[in-house]
Structure 1
Amino acid sequence: QYMLPQHVVTLPALPLLPNGKVDRKALPAPAAATAPHPAAVAAARIAPRNERERLVLAVMEEVLHTPDMSVVDDFFALGGHSLLAARLAVRIGTTFGLQLPLGKVFEAPTAERMAAEIARIQASGTQLQIAIPRRSDRRSAPLTLEQQRMRFAEELHPGTTAFNTPSVHRLTGPLDRALFERALRHVVRRQDALRTAIVPAINAEGWRQRIDDEVVLELPFEDLGMLPVAEREAEMRRRAQAVIDTPIATDAAPLFRCALYRLDAQEHVFLFMAHHLVWDGYSFDVLYREMATLYAGLVAGQDVQTALPETTVSYGDFAAWQTRWLEGADAARQRDYWRARLAAAPVLSMLAADTPVRAGTPGEGRSEHLSVPASLSEALRDVARRHNLTLNMVLMAAYGTALANAIGQPAVGIGMPVRGRIVPELEDVMGFFVGLVPVLLEARPELSFTDFAAALRADMTGALAHQDLPFQHLTQQASTAQRRAGLYQAVFSFQDTRERQRHWGPLAHDMVMLFQKGLTDDLGLWLLDRPTGLEGFFVYNASLYSAATAAAFRQNFVDILAAVAARPTTRLGELAQPAAILAQASAAQAAPAPAPVASTTALLQPEQARLAQLWASALDIDVNEIRPDDNFFDLGGDSLMAMRVVQHSQEVLGHRVEPRRYVFESLAQLAAKPAAVPTAPGTLASADAPAPARVGLLGRMFQGWGRKG
């Protein structure tokens, strides 16, 4: 019924917002005998009442391409998203001559509130942030905290492909190979991250980034035009998958691979895959913009040197600056926020695994494809508009409802990837900025879906306003019980890709969906908002969950979307499936149920107590809260902490513990006499050693990464 129109109005053209969707506020009201729905009646416009409001509102109208806004109109409800928020922050900062953090846009999304915030900043006489210093001659930089953790994983498991970040692009139209490769070379010259290698630090332990002046760039070309037409697509996908499944060595630049496949004279496929150490999901958006601009300019005979403005900072500049920022007042303010937010949140329960897992078992990523047709996508977008939400919020609320159904508990924690570009100047910079924040919710059965989504909006807005803190710093604000359980149960990633460049000069551009097998979290939903509707993957750890479990979860999520589109005020209890639905789906495959692992409450043995004291000092927790079955990473440890503890524990225990054992083993296992170290990621540390609660191999070390961004 929700798809049946009540009125039809003919217009010469539909008014559009800057992101390409219909500007519904600009549509004329239908001439109908019946009264309009109360939610559709726009509030009376409130004009600016002072100069600050006038200037802020003018900038908002310019960024959104929406005239006659009210000072109480919400930036995000009118089509704003994170990219437009970054543009807004830059333009407001330029207008008022100050550095406006991106988080302030989320804290004050109306002209009225933003003007008041600017008045407060101006009255304080202080700048909220210092610009990142630019060194044009930079040849070296430290690793960021996230890079250090990832490099540690590389050292433990050389040859892993978990950190490959591939994208495959279908280009339709006449392609000039020489000009295409020239455009790509210019992107590499512009972006330091594409000329970076990870090498040992000079006169110090650890690693550093080495930024080379030039790199050897080869664009392999494979002509599939000699094959029968019916075989070309499958062969292209096979060859592309082979590249995706090949590790990238990190000690020599460039840390990316690329290839160009010719299917016929009018169709080519371009593969680009960078190592996550120098790349994240939003870096792809920068790549699309730059390749589209440069290739179009070259085809038109323009000077490539002037086609794009120079970047004002580099990823190396950011890495060098991050350490100083973490010691400053803004980072302290964000720590205070998360300490208070987590103190008010319960300890989460995790979705029970379908199969027993032993310590040292690697996570195997599999996926369930998800496609939401354009009609349902637009119905959900309409629900968002009428209830002062964004589509992202509606989808995450549905995902949270499905999680609560599966777990059988109302407390829900969703890991939300954030771009991590801490100042607007980084919006045009490629690199590994992505972070993650938890959105913490209570999916109580008596709540209506719209009320639940409104609570999600409030928590999400607060999280986004405090998104700059690296996840390990955020984790340190949690209680020991929260660290042990984890701060989220599953990842949710949403990207509005409708504004991505659809043409690279004369070439029509579209994505080719290929799945990357690397896994950093046990459950995740990765959605793209495309012109044809929502599309993505529900990704799961096949070492923990069966295909039937994943399919049941996916179907419950889709059912919730349809129900919400039909009646947004439905109570969550009416949207619930029995908590045992996933277990029943798994049992249908006749898989044996895992025996529950009892929590160890015994007193620590002397050698365990000595090691626990080192852990407590490194993790800043009470030693009495550490149990024999605890894992260092589950308690909030990271790779740097682990290496320091390894060094000190040799003196305390009288023997060296191999670093990789910290990923797999408990305190009791590590404190015991030296054990045989697994020779491969898939071997077991002990024949009967059950894995801790968070059993995904990389997810245990890197919980807090939205890797695919």
Structure 2
Amino acid sequence: MNKKDIEAIYPLSPTQQGMLFETLFAPNSGIHLEQSISTLQGNVNVSACEQAWQRIIARHSVLRTGFVWKEQEQPLQVVLRQVAVSLEQQDWREYSLLEQQAQLQAYLQSDRDRGFNLSQPPLMRLALFQTNENTYQLVWTSHHILMDGWCGPLLFQEFLSFYQASSQGQDLHLKAVRPYKDYIAWLKQQDELQVKEFWQKNLKDFTKPTPLGITAERLDDSVNQAKYGEQEIYLNATNTAVLKSLAKSHRLTLNTIVQGIWALLLCRYSNEDDVVFGITVSGRPASLLGIESTIGLFINTLPLRVKLEQQEKLWCWLNNIQSYNLELRQYEHSNAGQVHKCSELPGYLPLYESLLVFENYPVHISALQSADLKINISDSRSIGAQTKYALTFLASVNSELHLKCVYDQRRFDSADVGHILEHFLKLLNRIISDSEVTLQTLLEQIPLEQIPRVRHLQKSVPVTEKQVVQTQRTPVEEVLAGIWTEILGKECIGNNDNFFDLGGHSLLATQVISRLRDAFKIEIPLSYLFESPTIAECAQRIETKIRTGEKLETLPIKPVSRSENLPLSFAQQRLWLLDQLDPGNHTYNEPTGVRLTGLLNITALEQSLNAVVSRHETLRTVFTTVEGQPVQKIQPITDITIPIVDLRVNERSPQQREAQVKRIAIEEAQRLFNLAQGPLLRVMLLQLDETEYVLLLTMHHIISDLWSMAILIRELADFYAAFSQGKSLTLPYLPIQYADFAVWQKKWMQGKVLETQLTYWKQQLQDAPTKLELPTDKPRPLQPTYTGTTQSFQLPKDLSDAVKLLSQREDVTLSMNLLTAYNTLLYYYTKQEDILVGSAIANRNRSEIEGLIGFFVNSLVLRTDLSGNPSFSELLRQTREVTLGAYTHQDLPFEKLVAELQLERDLNYNPLFQVWFAFQNIATPDIQKLTLSLPDLTLSPFETNKQRCPFDLGLLLSEQPEGISGCFEYKTDLFESSTILRMTEQLETLLRCVVTQPDIQLNQLVEKLKESDSQKQLTQEKEYKNTVRQKLMKIKHKSNMNSN
């Protein structure tokens, strides 16, 4: 654009910004494209028609507007001094009526497909098709970002005036209109705090979108292209007249009555008495004189919240709705995104899924007429706002009340939509026939069997084009986007995409915080990402921290001299002490196995193992004492030879060989380590046949954790892929080793850092019980053996999906949701209202240590207060708060906490907690899910049963594509397998209750579990009696035969 051609430049309104993004997000969708089809009757002067439209464009600056966003801090609208619009003309008189209709539909589709380049005004097109001697079809196509439906009648009136003047050779001068930029200036002057307070008050305690009916099923991920259907109904003219009279007598608008009817239907469909749906408002501020004739985009979509008291009188209730509408007028300019933030819904959930549009334009334009031209607006259509909602109702009234429903065909069947419209008419007619009807009576008009069934739409991760998502990015947002892309493994992440919707979870959130610390040199709490889960929101908080000059207090982790005595980390100290107290214990052996299928190059495998051991000092570390204090000692690099056990001899069957492999694996997992002599990594290769091997790897926990085991196997595979092909490999340089981390930890965890962490944990655990009184099947042995086993289970896919959906609605992670269910189950068994559960956290919250093998994992104590008979939803919110607090203070080593609390040591009881909880996301390093393909070789997991359990009871859950799977790990000295099996069944029962009734009270949940147990016991007794009866009948039958 040439500067001399520019008349004005100013920002976009919030609604325009939303439309700009949505258009750029889906440039070929035709979104927000408006088409109006009018029939012109008369001897049309085509030249006068063109001149009239050109005068309109010259008169209204918004019709000369284009939009710029690239390389701009914020998008801008640019008004040109002059813009020409052409009128496309075609003669269709030779076609039949059917052919003309086909031609018109074809043109409309091709016109939609063309779309608009938003940077090139005019963002409107005109086409005129002559269908017979004095009849024309005028198609007016424009982009909704310029103007709303209010403007159409105004422009057509002006068109008729300019056309008549031009065709008569006259020069018409209309009164000047207020430009759209005055509205943008007015927006800047509004009190945002007042707007925020209004919406916070009106949306208080609103925590989930109003259901539109009964959830029927979840749609498959592949069903992602919206397709919309339309149905309509009419209230006859007689009843419409009566309804208008009733509205007038009660000083109500028809809009309010229609809103009330939809609110009633939503209450019936959702079985709730507090509902929210969207409504459209004109958005034209009354304080701006002349604004009613301004052409521009003012319309806004805002939530209407309606609460129902069934005994309340209909007209009083409707008056309350109208009062809300009147109060809303001064807030019609509210930014929809900011309104959402004022609610208590998570950002990824919509405030509402239905929209009610009552078309109440200042001029009715179904027909306009001058001396020589008549205009009939036969049709108007748009692709835009309604496509964001499952249901959109378009209401208009002339002699008849007309209601059209536009619905997402993925979500609703046409029959159900038909019922909805019938219900509308039914309630309207009931009001007309009995104006004193009660709300309760109106609700009862809707049969339960006709409540619509709604398919839940699987949320898919938005994938946008790069130029779209980079729009309006600040430098901080750019850095954040790069970090998210790296951590989440997804390209083109938008500023408003939710981290947790994109697959993020607490473990990945920790890595993001680590990267942010490195990038901005400020300390950022993990809670930031949970509370501000979008790039835009998180960037704002980071920018505030940068402006306030907060500096990073964390010491950098630097290499230290190996000539000095190297201390143990806090976690290592505890394991070392336990080994001194109980040296014959294999509890902290960490075994795993890998099945190798194919042609194995054993020499390359040994070279790979040696390369990994050379790379990680911790694999060459032993633990000795100097002056009574334990120290780390790093052994020199020596070549390791892998012992091979050949199981091909003696012509064993495959089943026998497999059994022997498992026996050897158990023996190897239980073989003790000597921490002072080492090595603390053992490797053994079992050969089953020419192309099948099992590689057993065992490390002591003092040098490893689950994350480390995954690193070991991945690096082993990387080196093998190179060495087996005769190539070399250089992995990314490790600037520090585990010993450097241990030294750093001792220096850092003191002073203010230690004080802050300890203060939190001491306050959190004040007066906490030290033991969980979990009933056991067997008396606790005097000397613990740590002998244990597992009970695996799989939650059904439908239940897994429902639990995930509940997590989204309640703004908690899946892990928090499942932990709450676990706490509830523990309460059922113990009746303790104060429960402590241990949970492991990777504790790799600094980028330097993410690639190291070592013992980093930390234990967090999660305390839950179940007193006061809370609802499950309340427990979820408590778990979220407790978990985020623990994550924020995760740096205090559990061992240091135990020492500071001066707890009495008892080998029979783990300090603070005796039960634990663990959750693994799909993205969590998990060697049991690791499958790698190498040259001539495939690596897959080999399950090793450790047959040990350091805690009384543990619940491990993992998110997999097929659903949520899990296992209870338990001490066989304490529990029978039947008890644990019953726990798995009770957990499923509990989850099925809460996904349908998240507000169920704790005591009610307990009763549900009792009923389930009783029912199961009765079933088992019945089955047992049937079995006994059948056996007795067989015995009797056999006895009778013998006697004969």
Normalising to structure 2: TM-score of the pair?
A: 0.49
Amino acid corresponding to residue 862 of structure 2 in structure 1: V
Q: Which of these residues, 509, 523, 529, is aligned with residue 953 of structure 2?
A: 523
Q: Which residue of 2 aligns with 1:292?
A: 717
Alignment of 1:620-659 (within 5 A): none
Q: Which residue of 2 aligns with 1:320?
A: 743
Amino acid corresponding to residue 244 of structure 1 in structure 2: A
- Contact 1:354–1:546 (Cα < 8 Å) also in 2: yes
**Residues 582-608 of structure 1: per-residue CA shift (max 9 Å, x gap):** 999xx9xxxxxxxxxxxxxxxxxxxxx
Amino acid corresponding to residue 60 of structure 1 in structure 2: W
Task: Give the drift of 1:211.
Answer: 0.3
Alignment of 1:238-387 (within 5 A): 238-304=663-729, 306=730, 308-343=731-766, 349-357=772-780, 359-372=782-795, 376-387=799-810
Inter-CA distance 137–116: structure 2 relative to 1 (3 Å threshold) = same
Q: Which residue of 1 aligns with 2:141?
A: none
Task: Give the drift of 1:566.
Answer: 5.5
Task: Give the drift of 1:189.
Answer: 0.5
CA distance in 2, matches of 1:101, 1:186: 37
Q: Which residue of 2 aligns with 1:184?
A: 609
Task: Give the drift of 1:118.
Answer: 5.2
- Contact 1:138–1:316 (Cα < 8 Å) also in 2: no
Higher relative contact order (CA 8 A, sep 6+): 1
Please identify, of 149-158 and 179-188, the stretch whose mean Cα deviation from structure 2 is larger.
149-158
Q: Which residue of 1 aligns with 2:938?
A: 508
Task: Give the drift of 1:170.
Answer: 2.1
Task: Give the drift of 1:487.
Answer: 3.5
**Residues 239-281 of structure 1: per-residue CA shift (max 9 Å, x gap):** 1111112111222232021112223344322211101111112
Task: Give the drift of 1:319.
Answer: 1.4
- Contact 1:101–1:423 (Cα < 8 Å) also in 2: no
Pair 1:550 & 2:550 matched: no
- Contact 2:681–2:700 (Cα < 8 Å) also in 1: yes
CA distance in 1, matches of 2:564, 2:647: 40
Q: Which protein has the bigger strand share? A: 2
Q: Which residue of 2 aligns with 1:31?
A: 409
Q: Which residue of 2 aligns with 1:617?
A: none
- Contact 2:757–2:889 (Cα < 8 Å) also in 1: yes
Amino acid corresponding to residue 559 of structure 1 in structure 2: T
Amino acid corresponding to residue 844 of structure 2 in structure 1: R
Amino acid corresponding to residue 982 of structure 2 in structure 1: A
Amino acid corresponding to residue 858 of structure 2 in structure 1: G
Task: Give the drift of 1:288.
Answer: 2.9
Point out the structure with max Rg over C-alpha: 2
Q: Which residue of 2 aligns with 1:52?
A: 476
Pair 1:89 & 2:513 matched: yes
**Residues 331-389 of structure 1: per-residue CA shift (max 9 Å, x gap):** 22211222332348677752134433464444432332333355544443343334433
Task: Give the drift of 1:60.
Answer: 2.7
RMSD: 4.2
Amino acid corresponding to residue 542 of structure 1 in structure 2: T
SS at match of 2:878: helix
Task: Give the drift of 1:437.
Answer: 0.8
SS at match of 1:172: strand
Inter-CA distance 83–287: structure 2 relative to 1 (3 Å threshold) = farther
Amino acid corresponding to residue 153 of structure 1 in structure 2: L
CA distance in 2, matches of 1:78, 1:10: 18
Amino acid corresponding to residue 470 of structure 1 in structure 2: P
- Contact 1:220–1:260 (Cα < 8 Å) also in 2: yes
Q: Give the paired residue count.
A: 571
Task: Give the drift of 1:11.
Answer: 6.3
Please identify, of 157-166 and 359-368, the stretch whose mean Cα deviation from structure 2 is larger.
359-368
Task: Give the drift of 1:300.
Answer: 4.6
**Residues 420-468 of structure 1: per-residue CA shift (max 9 Å, x gap):** 3352211111111221111122346854434422321221111111111
Instruction: Structure 2: give runs of 5+ residues left out of the alignment.
Output: 1-213, 226-347, 351-387, 391-407, 418-453, 463-468, 1018-1044
**Residues 471-499 of structure 1: per-residue CA shift (max 9 Å, x gap):** 14334676989999963351001223556
Q: Which residue of 2 aligns with 1:596?
A: none
CA distance in 2, matches of 1:33, 1:578: 32
CA distance in 1, matches of 2:474, 2:550: 20
Inter-CA distance 315–7: structure 2 relative to 1 (3 Å threshold) = closer
- Contact 1:40–1:386 (Cα < 8 Å) also in 2: no
Amino acid corresponding to residue 573 of structure 2 in structure 1: Q
- Contact 1:61–1:67 (Cα < 8 Å) also in 2: yes
Alignment of 1:81-480 (within 5 A): 81-96=505-520, 105=529, 109-111=533-535, 112-113=537-538, 115-117=540-542, 119-121=544-546, 123-135=548-560, 137=562, 140-201=565-626, 204-226=627-649, 227-304=652-729, 306=730, 308-343=731-766, 349-357=772-780, 359-372=782-795, 376-443=799-866, 447-475=870-898
CA distance in 2, matches of 1:568, 1:509: 43
Inter-CA distance 274–581: structure 2 relative to 1 (3 Å threshold) = farther
Inter-CA distance 485–183: structure 2 relative to 1 (3 Å threshold) = closer
Pair 1:576 & 2:954 matched: no
Task: Give the drift of 1:186.
Answer: 0.8
CA distance in 2, matches of 1:292, 1:569: 49
Inter-CA distance 361–63: structure 2 relative to 1 (3 Å threshold) = closer
- Contact 1:364–1:518 (Cα < 8 Å) also in 2: yes
- Contact 1:369–1:538 (Cα < 8 Å) also in 2: yes
- Contact 1:527–1:536 (Cα < 8 Å) also in 2: yes
SS at match of 1:141: coil
Amino acid corresponding to residue 269 of structure 1 in structure 2: V
- Contact 2:837–2:863 (Cα < 8 Å) also in 1: yes
Please identify, of 470-479 and 125-134, the stretch whose mean Cα deviation from structure 2 is larger.
470-479
Q: Which of these residues, 63, 66, 89, is aligned with residue 487 of structure 2?
A: 63
- Contact 2:461–2:501 (Cα < 8 Å) also in 1: no
Amino acid corresponding to residue 834 of structure 2 in structure 1: A
CA distance in 1, matches of 2:1011, 2:616: 49
Task: Give the drift of 1:47.
Answer: 8.1
Please identify, of 48-57 and 383-392, the stretch whose mean Cα deviation from structure 2 is larger.
48-57
CA distance in 2, matches of 1:551, 1:147: 35
Inter-CA distance 260–41: structure 2 relative to 1 (3 Å threshold) = closer
Please identify, of 456-465 and 209-218, the stretch whose mean Cα deviation from structure 2 is larger.
209-218
Inter-CA distance 98–361: structure 2 relative to 1 (3 Å threshold) = closer
Task: Give the drift of 1:207.
Answer: 1.7
CA distance in 1, matches of 2:506, 2:703: 22
- Contact 2:411–2:455 (Cα < 8 Å) also in 1: no
